[in-house]
Structure 1
């Protein structure tokens, strides 16, 4: 059984942090670089299959006024399951469009699978699973899809 080394943990935690930073700082058009070629991402924003779909979504996202958003995450659990590196990371999302921006817009889990390609770890599958505030996340996704200000 393969063990999660400190080096693997550091690389995965940096991968997750970079994902949040790009999204929160208007660079969603670069998110695709963190995903495997055949990646799948699913959640309130819909399902995207393949790196090209994730790239297209990110390019559209930077064109929409999504408001000020910040993602905070931690508590990442990593384990190899049947030879696949899997992770669960808890998150909180804050948006300035909320009635009280100091209250999380949603709280949940990123359930991920990772793959090593070209000498680095990438996201192979990402499921965004809101546990609290799922209706907020879905409404935000609809506003963004419509191209409207949140």
Structure 2
């Protein structure tokens, strides 16, 4: 079974089981750090020139992601859990890309058993010193985008 279905050529490497496991672990670690009060360490999962785009705005560079994470750990956002899966990986013009579906729950929602947001993480990955890192992450809410934007505003204002 071939996992790579786009831009397959002799020059394009396969999306191997090892690559898939490394990327899925990278995404899982991202969620664990964020959900367990360690957002100040998220920047370590990103390349130096990383870009993150989503309801919180655009962060350009690892330093911006680090500064956001350091602020985030000082905020009480309630309990948050991200569930993700269905990761699709492919090489596109020599760049490893991925789409991962996510569901986010927040204890601060009126009904915490109802998802706060459902969508996709659209990412590009790069190897840095032999380790996979996120080069670009776009957070694309499909359902609940207004909830994600409202949550970002509340945190920016110092509320949960």
Fold match, TM over 0.5?
yes
| Superposition map of 1:66-85 within 5 A | 66-85=77-96
Match of 2:115 in 1: 104
SS class of match (1:113): strand
Q: Which runs of 5+ in 1 are unaligned?
A: none
Q: CA deviation at 1:147?
A: 1.4
49, 61, 71: which is aligned to 2:60? 49
Match of 1:146 in 2: 157
122, 138, 148: which is aligned to 1:127? 138
Distance, in Å, in 2 between the alignment partners of 1:66 and 1:14 is 25
Q: CA deviation at 1:2?
A: 1.8
Distance, in Å, in 1 between the alignment partners of 2:77 and 2:14 is 39
Following TM superposition, the consecutive aligned residue runs of length 4 or more in structure 1 with deviations greater than 6 angstroms are none
Based on CA coordinates, which of the two structures has the bigger radius of gyration?
2
Q: CA RMSD in A?
A: 0.5
TM-score (normalizing by structure 1):
0.98
Distance, in Å, in 1 between the alignment partners of 2:73 and 2:111 is 24
Q: CA deviation at 1:146?
A: 1.1
| Cα distance per residue 1:63-121 (max 9 Å; x no partner) | 01011000000000000000000000000000001111111000000000000011100
Match of 2:9 in 1: none
Distance, in Å, in 2 between the alignment partners of 1:63 and 1:98 is 20
